[in-house]
Structures are given as structure tokens and as C-alpha cells.
Structure 1
Amino acid sequence: MKPFLPSEKYFGELELVHSFYGAMPTGVTVSETGRIFVCFPKWGDDVKFTVGEIVENTLQPYPDVQTNVENYEDITMTFISVQSVVADGRGTLWVLDTAAPNFSEPIKGGAKLVAVDLETNTIRKVYTFSEDVVLATTYLNDVRFDFRVGKAGYAYITDSSSKGPGAIIVVDLSTGHAFRRLNGANSTSPDPYFLPKVEGRILMNRNKDGSTSRFTLASDSLAISPDGKTVYFAPLTSRHLFSISTEALRDKTIPDTDLPYHVEYWGEKGASDGMITDAKGTVYAGDYENNSIRKIWPDGTMETIAHDPRILWPDTFSIGPDRYLYVIVNQLHRQARFHYGKDLREKPYSLLRMKIDELPASTYTL
């Protein structure tokens, strides 16, 4: 008989919402009416459609098949490789198209932010970017909104480049004018001293030819306060949390050399991919090194609310009107590029949820 030995304790009540047996998902969002949308960037899997909706436990292309077939003659009206989807709580699904399949240089004119009307399921508006905003190295990652400022509100987008400067891209939704902020700043750049460890092993780029290099990705995690006055952000390869006032981000009279002085440092939160805020201003963040989900109160105190072996790389978060926290779990760290060309992911990938009894942060004045 084998002796009993103490083992790690797991906690947090997680429910399975959906299992994915096809392409690997990254983004999830739950609309104000409870509709669930997911996206699948083209990272090498056989992606049938890059944006989908879960309808009665079945994945369907959204808004339709045609929009999910890239058309270079109509590149702004079709999706190429979508990294993030965000329902804004007032009838619109926002689709962030990297136009960078397999982390390539963004296809010229293809990187865009698309507003889809959830009532008609049709594209209402498309925002494209100039070459001084979406650089040759840019990888558009996550987006947050505030409709209380300007004529039509503002969007804030992270550039999580692995080869160039990280940044937060600010978009005036009334004019479409966009500009980069904190471009190459320490707060939007990979932590040069950070060595990620996942499932007990060091995470590195490990190529088929046997060569290796450090895994580095810039600003990725993004959340906005319920009043729209603060954005929280973090590089993917870092354990540090930062914030800055949205007013400072929008104020172009503050030069980028001075803008870092407006950044507030919150300390270590763990290494996260996705991040979200609830209606009370609490930030929820994954910890992909420790199979965990954390919450950070407005005063900076922190608590781990879930620690579970099934949380194999918590990616995007969303809070639904049902007061559940939704999270995509996609085993990103098991991809072939980290294991000398051998894909170690095991299907299915998962959409999980846990009850938090809080509503999502509003993007507009109630």
C-alpha cells in the first residue's frame, strides 16, 4: 500500500460552458443579453471561421460565413485573423482583426476594429489604421471602450508586439483618428528579467532546428475602470500591473517622453494574459504560471479566487449579465513553437466560468 503524501490544494468552483475540438480559441465575450462570442486567430490551426457564436452549445460563424472568408478585394469588410472580440453592453460586438496570421507583418489595410450591430448582425462601421499606428511589427491584442468622452467615445488597444515596441493605441471613435501612446515605454515592454515558468517548466521559443530564444511579448492585458477614467495594463511576459488615466492617454499635448510619469505601478499580480473589471472596479486577471485566477481590489489588495489544474493558460476574460466570470483556457504554452515543433496541446480547449456575483463594468453612463 502506497503511503499518503500531502499534495497541492486546489480551489474555486469552475463550470464547463463549452468544449472546443477544432481550432484554438483566444477571445470570449458575453453580451448584455447573454450571447456568447468567441474568436480563433490563425496561428497554424485549421480555422474554419475566425469569429463564432455559441448557439445552443453549437459553434456558428459570426456574423456569417462570407465575412469570415478573407477577401483581398474587400479587405476592410472581411475578417483575416481576429484576436479579440468585445461586446460593449449596448448592442455592439467589436471585432479586433490583427490581419497578421501566424504573427506575420500585418497585411496592408487589413488591421482593423469592426463594429457589428447585434440586432441586425451586420457590420455597422470599420476603423482602419495608418502605417504610423499599426507598424510592421504590430500585433493588435485587446481592446476596451469608454463612450462617455468625445462625440462617440474612445477605444484603447494594446500592441503586444514580440519584435517591436509595445504601446497602447488610442482611437477617437467619432473621427477614426488613432495614435500610439507609451510607445516602447518600460510599462508596455516585456520585463527583461522575467523568465516564465508554466507547468513547472521554463517557457521559451524552441524551434524545430533546435535553436532557442526568450519568449517576449509586450503590452497585452487590458482593463478599464467602471468610470472610464483609468486603464489597467500589463505586458504578457511580466508579472507587473500598471495603470494610467485615460485623460492622459488622450491628451496629445503630453509628449510620450513625459507620459511614463503618469503611469502608476501596482506591484506584482502574477503573469497574466486576459484581464477584466467588474462594476465595482475590481480587476480580475489570470496567472498562467500558477493555473490561477486573481482579483485585485481598487485599494490594491489581491486574492486568488481559483486555483485549478484545468486552468491551463487562462486567456481572455468576460463578465456576463448572469454575474459569472467567463474565461478561455487554451493551453497556449503547449503550442509547437515552444516545443521544438511538437504540438503538445490536448483537445478539447475550454470555456469555463465561475460565479462572482458582480456585473461587468459599464462603458457608458447609466
Structure 2
Amino acid sequence: MKRRTFLTATTTSLAAAPLTGHARATGRTAGDHEVAARFWGAMPTGVTVSRRGRVFVNFPRWGDDVPFTVAELRGGKPVAYPDAEVNREDPSDLAGHLQSVQSVVVDPADRLWILDTGSPLMAESSYGGPKLVAVDLRTDRIVRKILFPPEVVPSDSYPNDVRFDLRRGAEGMAFVTDSSGSNGVVVVDLATGRSWRRLTGHPSALPDDGFLPVIEGEPFMNRPADGEPTRFEVGSDGIAISADGKRLFYCPLSSRRLHSVSTDAVADPDASQAEVAATVEDLGYKPMADGLESDDKGRIYGGDLEHNTIWRRNPDGTYETLAQGPDLIWVDTLSVASDRHLYAIANQLNRQADHHEGHDLRRKPYLLVRVPIDTGPVRLV
């Protein structure tokens, strides 16, 4: 991740105003959100739900004790998935084991895809570590493994989140955000395993200059135990796909802007970077959000990290607040499920020791919450 030394700032006017108009309540059970699961061990980042209601989560290896980096919730508790052996961190067999998973997503064909960064402790990765792994949910067996070549995912990259359109090509395509290094989007042809980069270094994929959010009453920065504070600067992170598959929505984490790009353009391996960039649209202000999600009515979802809310962006560009409360601390990944609920991880990422002079201020449990919505997931199949 890029970092810049912080010199001086005040908290005045640093945080954008919270969304207005549709917040239903405040307090621990604000809005209609309910706690679906509590995590007392490692910190989760990702969640996804299958058509049959199976819930999967992941735990990146960022310094917590992480016995398994992917899990299925069974009886409300995480269990290593698909098994304990593949979840064993093994630097001697990067391709054969899950090293540090950042995201899990069930695709429109109801397969679980695991996005492995290959970067425990966010260190530089090596070939075999960064990969996409598919699990057949009928047999609970790994059926596909796609390794990213270093010219597509360099050692300083950080594959972050993924969305799918299975109508493209022979077996579909995946779209992955890269939130470190040069930033951008990685496209994967699922039939051949071939991958290529798009929007590398494009301004829409980079952290906003001078971005300094206020979270829980203080400027959010990297604050090491020794040394000067630096700005928290993370590029392309959240990603969602439109209901018709024509646009990809994406955002840097260190930003309050939302952009979209033509899916046809990024999916064309022969398109030039300039041709892809020409299709980028600036969709204006959005709250500071980590993950993004979309539904089959063309709406986009995210969390407002500065105001402990979950929001929805309507096709006309208006926003509404779906849930708000003091327990929604750092809403990370979101997932629209077939049960007509939006699931979201609230993991207190901003309270990690790296942001508080070496003091870990997180207070377990971390939460999986869900909000009732009037729609289902995007299924491009």
C-alpha cells in the first residue's frame, strides 16, 4: 500500500456528512439489522452466501492467530473449509495451500471462489500464492485453481475482491480489484485461466490525494509504535457488477468517489488501456466504503466507515441509509443473498494496532450482520 508522511491536520471538516433521509433508528439494533454471527477468534473480512443458505467467511493472516483462513459457519461457528489441510499456511507449497484469503464469493453457478492474496502479513507475494480457487459446493471439493502470473499480479499487488459474469467467454470471466502496488482491475478468463490487467495506475483506481477520513472521532492514519504517522492510502478495493453486466462499479478505499467502467472494455484482452479508460465514468460522491455489492434491481450497497452505517445507492444516484448503529464498526465485505438479505462483516479494522501506536483496540466479538432487502443477488449466467 502507498503511504505518505502526515505533517499536520485538524479534525474540522475532515469527515463527510452522514447520509440523511432513511436511517430508521440508532443503537445496537439500529435499522433492521440483526447480528447473524459473532466471531471470538481471528478477525474476518469476507462473507458470501450460497443459494441453499450456506454461509462462508474468511480470515486473512494479518497477525491474528488464524488456524484456517476460510470457513463455513455451522451452528453459528466457523469450521475450516473445504478442509483443515488446504487451510494450513505452507510457504513451501504456495499453490497447494491457502496462504491468506481476503475474499470469498459464491458465483452465479453456486460455486465458491476463494481469492488468496498469497500475502500473509501483507508481505510481498511469490508465484503460486496469489490465486483463485473454486470449490464445488455439491461435493465440497476443489475443482479449479487459477494462479496469477507475476506480470499480472506483481509481488507488491494485493488481490482484494472479485465479481463474476459467467456469460462471457466459454466459461465466464472474473474481475478482481488490486488494492496495492499499481492498483487497478485484473480480468480472468475462467475457461483458459488467462488473466490481464486493466486501469493500472488510472486515477479512478488510486487513493485520493490528501484523503484523511475521521473514524471514531480521530483522523484515521497509519500510526506505528515507533515513527511518524502516515496517511492510510489504499487504492481500488470495492467492486460490484451491474444487474445487466454492462458496468463494473469500483472504488479506492481511500476515497469518497464511485466510478464505473464498461465491462465489455475490460473483458476485451485486445483493448488498449486508453480504450478502456475512455469508458470510465465518475459517478460522484459516495461515503468512504470498503466493499461494494449490487442487487438484481440495479442498486449498489456499501458501508459508511466514518458514520457506522450501511447504505444503498439507487439507479437514479440517490442514497438511502439501511442501517446505523455503534456496532457497525468498519463495515467490510457485503453479500446479497437469495434469502433477500444483505449480509455484512463489521470487523473493527480501524482499531488495529497499526493505527494506534501499537495498541490493539479491537474488542471481540467481530460481527456478521444482516439487513432485510426486497431483492436478490445479481446472477449473470
1:31 counterpart letter in structure 2: S
**Deviations 1:269-313, CA, capped at 9 Å, x for gaps:** 111001111111111111111111111112212112222111100
- Write the letter of the residue equivalent to 1:204: M
Match of 1:85 among 104, 107, 115: 104
TM-score between the two structures when normalised by the length of structure 1: 0.94
**3-state SS of paired residue (1:276):** strand
- Number of equivalences: 355
1:199-278 equivalent positions in 2, closer than 5 A: 199-278=216-295
Match of 2:204 among 178, 187, 211: 187
Q: Distance in 2 between matches of 1:185 and 1:113?
A: 24
Structure 1 residue ranges, 4+ long, deviating more than 3 angstroms after superposition? 71-74
Query: 1:122: which partner in 2?
Result: 141
- Any conservation in 2 of the 1:91–1:119 contact (CA below 8 Å)? no
SS in 2 for 1:208: coil
* Cα distance, 1:56 vs structure 2: 1.3
Of 151, 169, 173, which aligns to 1:154?
Answer: 173
Check conservation: 1:51, 1:82, Cα contact below 8 A: yes
> SS state of the match for residue 129, structure 2?
coil
Among 6, 14, 35, the alignment partner of 2:33 is 14
Amino acid at match of 1:358: T
Moved more, 283-292 or 302-311: 302-311
Letter in 2 for 1:214: R
CA distance in 1, matches of 2:204, 2:79: 38
Amino acid at match of 1:157: V
Shift of 1:359: 0.7
- Distance in structure 1 (CA, Å) of the matches to 2:334 and 2:62: 20
Say which SS state the counterpart of residue 233 (structure 2) adopts. coil
Q: Hey, what's the Cα distance between the residues in 2 that align with 1:273 and 1:29?
A: 15
Deviation at residue 73 of structure 1 after TM alignment:
4.8
Query: How far apart are residue 37 of structure 1 and its match?
Result: 0.2
Native 8 Å contact 1:32 1:89 kept in 2 = no
Match of 2:69 in 1: 50
Equivalent residues of 2:173, 2:188 under 8 A apart = yes
- 1:5 corresponding residue in structure 2: none
Q: Which has the higher contact order (CA 8 A, sep 6+)?
A: 2
Describe the SS at the equivalent of 1:107.
Answer: coil
Cα pair 2:322 2:371 within 8 Å, conserved: no
CA deviation map 1:235-284 (0-9, x unaligned): 00001000011101122343213432210111111110011111111111
> What letter matches 1:62 in structure 2?
Y
Cα RMSD (Å) of the superposition? 1.3
Q: Which residue does 2:312 correspond to in 1?
A: 295
- Whole-Å separation in 1 of the counterparts to 2:36 and 2:100: 24
Which residue of 2 is the match for residue 334 of structure 1? 351
Query: Following superposition of structure 1 onto structure 2, how do residues 354-365 of structure 1 map, counting pairs within 5 Å?
Result: 354-364=371-381
The equivalent of 2:19 in structure 1 is none
- 1:228 offset after TM fit, Å? 1.6
Shift, 1:358, TM fit:
1.1
Which of 75, 95, 111 is the equivalent residue of 2:114? 95
Alignment of structure 1 residues 134-153 onto 2, 5 Å: 134-153=153-172
Q: Which amino acid is 1:241 matched to?
A: L
Q: Confirm or deny: 8 A CA contact 2:108 2:166 kept in the other structure.
A: no
- How many percent of aligned residue pairs carry the same amino acid? 48
Whether the aligned pair in 2 keeps the contact of 1:231 and 1:245 (CA below 8 Å) is yes
Give ranges in structure 2 of 5+ residues lacking alignment: 1-22
| In the alignment, structure 1 residue 66 sits paired with structure 2 residue 85 | yes
Once the two structures are TM-superposed, the CA of residue 194 in structure 1 deviates from its matched residue by 1.4
Whole-angstrom CA distance in 2 between matches of 1:103 and 1:257: 31
Tell me if the contact between 1:210 and 1:340 (Cα under 8 Å) persists in the aligned partners: no
Pairwise CA distance, 1:227:
1.9
What amino acid is the match of 1:77? Answer: G
Measured after TM superposition, the shift of residue 72 of structure 1 is 4.2
